[in-house]
Amino acid sequence: MDITASPQRLSTDFIVVGAGVAGLCAAIELAEAGRVLVIAKDSLLESSSEYAQGGIAAALSDDDEVELHEQDTIVAGDGLCKIEAVRTLVEEAPAAIEQLIEWGTAFDRAGSQLLFAREGAHSRNRVLHARGDSTGHEIVRTLRNHARSLDNVSFQSFAAVTDLLKIDGEVGGVVALDEANHTIVWIEAQAVLLATGGLGRVFENTTNPDVATGDGVACAYRAGAVISDIEFVQFHPTALYLKNAPRFLLSEALRGEGGYLRNASGERFMERYHSQKELAPRDVVSRSVVMEMRATGDESAFLDLTHLSPGLVRERFPRVYETCLRYGIDLETTPAPVRPAAHYAMGGVQTDLYGRTSVPRLYAAGEVACTGVHGANRLASNSLLEGVVFGARAGEAMSETRDVPRKEAGFTDPVLYPCIAERDVRAIAWNSCGVLRSGPELRAALNRLRERRFQSIQSPERGTFELRNMHQVATLIALAALMREESRGGHYRTDFPRKSRKFERHSVILNNGLEPNVAFA
């Protein structure tokens, strides 16, 4: 690939980067305003949303109230939720669910009635599932079909979106890698939405798909957008832990149905760590599993479902059951070995309630964004809901740019090929920025990451760009985690194990062209 050659140029009205729940909801909302190009990374069928097992939360049952959903979200957020964002999420949830049903989403039912389940830290049964553990897949299927029925919405796959195009301080499009044709493509647009999903692949152990390499956060940071609360990463406590097997997520709903966590000696241990036992908040359960493993010297804990009614796991969680069976674990007869794995990012590109970032014409929605709705720790099954609600709101706001003339100055050439890091970035992030953190480990991680950033790129391909982005995001996480000298939500410091009112604020990171600058506001 000749990186000095003039890029191919395309244009559209609006660009949506990401074909998960948030991106599709935005595209549907934008369709009446102009031509919408939805860009998928690698495959239109691959997104974090596709793998969401747990469900989608909404206060729709007879014994539930929006105020209770709001309260549970705030409690889980551990003092850092932005109340207005939470209120927007829970108040718009019922109508969002009704819209999904109208478009064809087949949620699980008991007869004609929607079937509501309860998950960790929820005070009511308010979580809807589809085909047991395929909720994300069903919602994406519905949204994709609806988006494809709209004349103005088109889809295109690229190996990666590598950077954002800027015109005199405003975003004017994206830079994409067409790896199959060995070309770089500049796609111009009135506005760009980042709906790129998560960053779990920054860590060595993660439940996230291969595409979740933090691209949206890294691209936005390089373009000058504010990054907020990036230190808050949720580690799911029960990822399947087998050699030569992916860290497949064993849904929290399994514990909601009565699953136990045991150590290698067969003892239930969660009661030693929290009064809610297996249904404690995810961050508590993850830390408890790690602490128990350290105390016993075990390689894993075990999720035990063998005492549940025969056939329940197979019928309620067919995808989980079949996946575990493929790797030799029959969940109805054998406890599954589990360990925590990086699962969800509470922080990301800072936005308002309509997806607007600090850079004009750049928007973000879904897991890549930080609205403040999750605070320091996401409440189970609020993530799909966030994508639906705030994806649509971002699309609404983007449509307002349709008639606003774009600046005519030429594009600032994006920095396509900066230095990259060696491939031990994921190990550095996991060992130093994982479930348990400390100041010395975080400082050492930052030093190691800095040592690895001055290596030149010889082969510009998808993996190269992903590695650059993972290096950038790992650096931001390590720096923000080092500066937050307390423990709160998904961020736990062994040297600062308690919360501090001094840090009841949001981390804010700006790109000043040198080292990232972290402040709290």
**What is the predicted pLDDT for the residue at 31?**
97
Question: 3-class DSSP state for residue 122?
Answer: coil
Taking 60 as the threshold, does the pLDDT of residue 48 lie above it? no
Give the range among 144-148, 164-168, 356-360, 476-480 with minimum mean pLDDT.
164-168
pLDDT in tens, 504-518: 999 999 998 777 889
Q: Which of 247, 203, 259 is nearest to 490 (CA)?
A: 203
Average pLDDT over residues 291-317: 94
> What's the rounded Cα separation, in Å, for the pair 489 and 374?
10
Q: Which of 410, 459, 468 is nearest to 3 (CA)?
A: 459
Q: Two tokens at 456?
A: 């030149």
Percent of the residues in the chain that have a pLDDT greater than 70, as a whole number: 91
Q: Two tokens at 346?
A: 């509470």
Question: 3-class DSSP state for residue 354?
Answer: coil
Which residues partner with 177 through β-bridges? 160, 184
Taking 60 as the threshold, does the pLDDT of residue 297 lie above it? yes
Taking 80 as the threshold, does the pLDDT of residue 415 lie above it? no
Walk me through the domains of the chain, giving residue ranges and CATH numbers.
8-229+346-399 (3.50.50.60), 238-340 (3.90.700.10), 416-520 (1.20.58.100)
**What is the predicted pLDDT for the residue at 253?**
82
pLDDT in tens, 104-114: 999 999 999 99
Range list of H helices, 110-202: 135-148
Whether residue 138 contacts residue 130, with contact meaning beta carbons closer than 8 Å, is answered with yes
> What's the rounded Cα separation, in Å, for the pair 509 and 472?
12
Whether residue 216 contacts residue 174, with contact meaning beta carbons closer than 8 Å, is answered with no
**What is the predicted pLDDT for the residue at 46?**
55
pLDDT in tens, 216-271: 999 999 999 999 999 999 999 999 999 888 898 898 889 989 999 999 999 999 99
Taking 90 as the threshold, does the pLDDT of residue 403 lie above it? no
> What's the rounded Cα separation, in Å, for the pair 440 and 422?
22
Strands of the 227-228 sheet, one edge to the other: 369-370, 348-350, 227-228, 507-510, 517-520
> What's the rounded Cα separation, in Å, for the pair 473 and 436?
18
Q: Which of 342, 347, 340, 344 is nearest to 481 (CA)?
A: 347
Q: Two tokens at 341?
A: 């794995």
**What is the predicted pLDDT for the residue at 252?**
81
Whether residue 319 contacts residue 312, with contact meaning beta carbons closer than 8 Å, is answered with no
Q: How far is CA 452 from the centre of its chain?
A: 26
> What's the rounded Cα separation, in Å, for the pair 130 and 478?
37
Supply the pTM of this predicted model.
Answer: 0.92
> What's the rounded Cα separation, in Å, for the pair 474 and 447?
12
Question: Is 262 among the catalytic positions?
Answer: no
Q: Two tokens at 301?
A: 């804990």
**What is the predicted pLDDT for the residue at 413?**
53
Which residues partner with 178 through β-bridges? 183
Given 282, 316, 452, 488, which residue is catalytic? 282
Whether residue 500 contacts residue 486, with contact meaning beta carbons closer than 8 Å, is answered with yes
Within 233-331, strands assigned E span 233-240, 260-262, 301-304
> Looking up tokens 């504010």, which residue turns up?
226
Taking 50 as the threshold, does the pLDDT of residue 367 lie above it? yes
**What is the predicted pLDDT for the residue at 11?**
94
The DSSP-derived string for 443-471 is: HHHHHHHHHTS-BPPSS-SHHHHHHHHHH
Q: How far is CA 494 from the centre of its chain?
A: 25
Average pLDDT over residues 425-435: 95
Question: 3-class DSSP state for residue 4?
Answer: coil
